[in-house]
C-alpha cells in the first residue's frame, strides 16, 4: 500500500471506532438513569462504592441519611451524565476499537503473526475490563480512607462531579494500565525484547511501575497507588514468564533446524554459489522453446 492508501485505511478504521464509541455512549447516556431488563441503572451501579460507606463518613442533607451526591450548579446534572455516558461508551466499545487497531497493524505482519488477531482482541478486552473491575473495588477503599482521616474535624460534602470524575479516571487508568502484559508479550513475539533482557531489567522496570502508579492515580491516596502498582507487578511477571516460554521454544526450534548455534557476527555458512541450469532439451515433434524477457 502507498502512504496515501495507509492514510485512507487509518481514516476508515478511526471512523468505525468513533462510530462504535458514539453508539455505545448513547446507550450509556440512557443507561445512566434507566435500568435495562430489570437491572440497576448505570448511575446507581457506579454510585455503589459510595453508598457502601458507613453513614458516619457519608454525609447527607436529608433526614433519612440516604445515599445522595451533591451538585453546585444547574449544569452539573447534564454534564455529569454526558461524561459518564462517554466513559461507558469507551469501555463498552473496547472490543471494537481494539479490533480496528489490530486490523490496521495486521497488513504489516506475516501470515503466522496474523493468526493472533482473535487472541489479541479478546485478551485486550478482558484485561481492560479486569482493570476497570479492580478500580471499581479499589475506589471504595480509597474513599473510606480519604473521608475518614479527619471526620471528627470536618465533613466533606462529596459532589457528583468530583466522585464520578475520580471513579471514571480510576476506571480508565486501571483499564489501560492492565494492557501492559499484552504489550510486553507482543514486543517479545516480534523480537524487540527477549526474556533475558526482561529478566535483567526486572528490578528497574518494577520500580518504574511503582513510580507510574504514584503519578497516574488521580486520588493521591496510598490505597489506589499500591493496588495499581501491585497489580501491574503481578501482570508484568506473568508476561515475563510467557516470554520465557516463548524464547525457550524458539531456541529449541532453531537448534532442531541446525542454525541456532550460528554466530550472528560471522558470515552465514549457507552455500551461496549459484547452481548451473542445464540447457533445455528439445522434444521430438514439438516446437522450439520460446523465451521471454524474464527468462
Please give the pLDDT value at position 286.
Answer: 61
C-alpha pair distances (Å), 285 with each of 32, 47, 64, 80, 292:
85, 90, 107, 88, 22
Residues of the chain with pLDDT under 70: 1, 59-66, 107-115, 117, 150-155, 219, 257-272, 280-295
Please give the pLDDT value at position 207.
Answer: 92
Please give the pLDDT value at position 271.
Answer: 66
Instruction: Tell me the C-alpha distance between 113 and 183, whole Å.
Output: 15
Instruction: Tell me the C-alpha distance between 103 and 224, whole Å.
Output: 34
Please give the pLDDT value at position 63.
Answer: 46
Asked whether the whole model's pTM tops 0.85, one would answer no
Give me 59's grid cell. Answer: 454525609
Instruction: Tell me the C-alpha distance between 120 and 2, whole Å.
Output: 26
Q: Is the dihedral of CA 95, 96, 102, 103 positive or negative?
A: positive
Please give the pLDDT value at position 186.
Answer: 83
Instruction: Tell me the C-alpha distance between 202 and 241, whole Å.
Output: 12
Amino acid at each position: 500500500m502507498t502512504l496515501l492508501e495507509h492514510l485512507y485505511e487509518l481514516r476508515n478504521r478511526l471512523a468505525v471506532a468513533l462510530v462504535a464509541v458514539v453508539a455505545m455512549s448513547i446507550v450509556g447516556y440512557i443507561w445512566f438513569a434507566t435500568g435495562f431488563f430489570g437491572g440497576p441503572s448505570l448511575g446507581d451501579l457506579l454510585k455503589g462504592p459510595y453508598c457502601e460507606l458507613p453513614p458516619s463518613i457519608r454525609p447527607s442533607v436529608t433526614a433519612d441519611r440516604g445515599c445522595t451526591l451533591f451538585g453546585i450548579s444547574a449544569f452539573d446534572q447534564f454534564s455529569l451524565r454526558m461524561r459518564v455516558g462517554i466513559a461507558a461508551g469507551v469501555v463498552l466499545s473496547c472490543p471494537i476499537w481494539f479490533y480496528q487497531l489490530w486490523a490496521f497493524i495486521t497488513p504489516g505482519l506475516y501470515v503466522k503473526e496474523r493468526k493472533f488477531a482473535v487472541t489479541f482482541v479478546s485478551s485486550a478486552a478482558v484485561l481492560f475490563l479486569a482493570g476497570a473491575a479492580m478500580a471499581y473495588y479499589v475506589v471504595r477503599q480509597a474513599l473510606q480512607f480519604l473521608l475518614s482521616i479527619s471526620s471528627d474535624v470536618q465533613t466533606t460534602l462529596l459532589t457528583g462531579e468530583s466522585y464520578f470524575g475520580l471513579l471514571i479516571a480510576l476506571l480508565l487508568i486501571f483499564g489501560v494500565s492492565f494492557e501492559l502484559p499484552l504489550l510486553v508479550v507482543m514486543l517479545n513475539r516480534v523480537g524487540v525484547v527477549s526474556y533475558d533482557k526482561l529478566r535483567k531489567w526486572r528490578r528497574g522496570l518494577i520500580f518504574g511501575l511503582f513510580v507510574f502508579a504514584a503519578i497516574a492515580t488521580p486520588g493521591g491516596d496510598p490505597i489506589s497507588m499500591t493496588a495499581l502498582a501491585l497489580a501491574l507487578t503481578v501482570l508484568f511477571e506473568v508476561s515475563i514468564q510467557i516470554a520465557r516460554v516463548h524464547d525457550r521454544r524458539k531456541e529449541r526450534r532453531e537448534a532442531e533446524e541446525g542454525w541456532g548455534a550460528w554466530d550472528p557476527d560471522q558470515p552465514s555458512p549457507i552455500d551461496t554459489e549459484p547452481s548451473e541450469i542445464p540447457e533445455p532439451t528439445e522434444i521430438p515433434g514439438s516446437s522450439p522453446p520460446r523465451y521471454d524477457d524474464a527468462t
